[in-house]
Each structure stands twice: as structure tokens, then as C-alpha cells.
Amino acid sequence: MPQLVLECTGVESSIATAAYTARRGGCVNVVGVSPRLTIDKLPFMHLSLAEIKLLFTNRYHDTWPAAVRAVEGGLIDQARLESLVSHRFALDDAVAAMQLVGGRHGSSARPVIKVQIVDDAANVD
């Protein structure tokens, strides 16, 4: 079970699933929840008994265009940015991508990798 779960849909059922996915003593970070969302079925007892931290991170709609401008303007080195992606998979290979992320690969620690699933096989390395 992961130490950190990033929940990025803001959907109540997905937030609850994230709560049950994190390991004991772990953390669930809910990113970008709608201001209209009311969460009635969040498993607070499970979170409390398993000592799982629940964090909410606001996302701002105007940060993405600023980030794109920073890359386009050379403030952020595009090659360094691209180096954050360690593996690329075609959409048809999404299961293999998830298996790679979840595997241990012969070491006691899980790898820190960024998997990008693309819908165009021509973009796969």
C-alpha cells in the first residue's frame, strides 16, 4: 500500500477509495476539490484509526498558462522538464504501466518514476 495517495478527481467515491488505499500512517492529498463539493461518506473513522493524514491542496486555474509561458520563455529548461518522465507507454499498455509503478524491481524500495500514458503510439519511446 502506498505511503502517499494523490487524489486528483475531486469525486467523493474516489476520495473514499484513496482513504482505503493509503497505508497505515500514510497521507491522502486531495488536489483541486470543487467549492461546491460536500463529502458525506468520507471514512473518517478509518482515517483516524489508521492515523492517515488527510490534506487538501487547492489548485489555481491560472497556474497552468503561467507554467507553459515559463517553459516557452526559457525560464524552465525543457530538457530537464522532460527528464522527469522515466517511461512512456501507449494507451493500450496502460496495465503494464501500472504494474511497473506498483512493482519493486529487485530492491526494498519502490522506484520513484513518472509514467506517462499517451494515446498515440508514435509518441512512445
SS (H, E, C) 30-57: EECCCCCCCCCCCCHHHHHHCCCEEEEE
In this predicted model, what pLDDT tens digit does every residue of 64-119 receive, in sequence order? Answer: 788 889 989 999 888 888 887 777 888 888 888 778 777 655 554 555 555 566 66
Q: Which residues in 1-28 are b (16+ Cβ under 10 Å) and which e?
A: eeeebebeebeeeebbebbeebeeebbb
Whether 26 is covered by a domain: the verdict is: yes
Whether 63 is covered by a domain: the verdict is: no
Whether 65 is covered by a domain: the verdict is: no
Identify the pLDDT of residue 27: 96
In this predicted model, what pLDDT tens digit does every residue of 17-61 receive, in sequence order? Answer: 999 999 999 999 998 776 777 778 889 999 999 999 999 887 777
Identify the pLDDT of residue 67: 84
Whether 64 is covered by a domain: the verdict is: no
The enclosing domain of 37 has a CATH number of 3.40.50.720
Whether 10 is covered by a domain: the verdict is: yes
Identify the pLDDT of residue 65: 87
Identify the pLDDT of residue 39: 76
- Structural domain count, the chain: 2
Tell me which residue range forms the domain holding 101: 70-119
Identify the pLDDT of residue 52: 98
Whether 115 is covered by a domain: the verdict is: yes
Whether 13 is covered by a domain: the verdict is: yes
Whether 75 is covered by a domain: the verdict is: yes
